[in-house]
A = this chain, B = another copy of it.
């Protein structure tokens, strides 16, 4: 009996196959008919895939069954803290440090006492052309949950 391959080992193999075969995250997402941010996050180890999704990803990328088994596993979510200081990710954390308290004020003003769910939730990322330089547009879209006893 061997332990199940860790999600980080599976992610490293997915990344290697993706680069060597020259396919994009969007193409992988298309292959399984799922949103691209969700698919990327799942393959990096943040969501469990269904048996069908895991099988099709592994066929598409030429990966062995052990990877598919790992991709189906329920994850322990959260990124490596060291990665949070990578500049591309850090800018989001900095924006949250600057605008987080303002977002809190405005959510309470509009919705009352509660939160934006991070579970009933989706994220999208897109490019918006702009003559001064194209822009990265990231949308966080979560159900409002009010504090309810």
Given A40-B105, A77-B87, A104-B86, the answer on whether A118 and B133 have CB atoms closer than 8 Å is: no
Are the C-beta atoms of B116 and A138 separated by less than 8 Å? yes
State whether the Cβ of A44 lies closer than 8 Å to any Cβ in chain B: yes
Question: Bound state CA distance, A24 and B82, in angstroms?
Answer: 30
CB A52 to nearest CB in B, in angstroms, measures 16
Main secondary structure of the interface of A (DSSP, over half): mixed
Are the C-beta atoms of B37 and A113 separated by less than 8 Å? no
CB A95 to nearest CB in B, in angstroms, measures 5
Number of copies: 10
Kindly list chain B residues whose C-beta atoms are within 8 Å of the C-beta of A26.
109
Are the C-beta atoms of B119 and A100 separated by less than 8 Å? no
Given A64-B1, A79-B98, A135-B141, the answer on whether A91 and B113 have CB atoms closer than 8 Å is: no
Question: Bound state CA distance, A113 and B113, in angstroms?
Answer: 26
Binary flags per residue of A83-101, CB closer than 8 Å to B gives 1, else 0: 1111111111111111111
List 15 interface pairs A-B (beta carbons < 8 Å), by A numbering. Answer: A26-B109, A37-B106, A40-B105, A46-B98, A78-B97, A79-B101, A88-B108, A89-B96, A89-B101, A110-B125, A116-B136, A121-B149, A137-B141, A138-B139, A138-B141
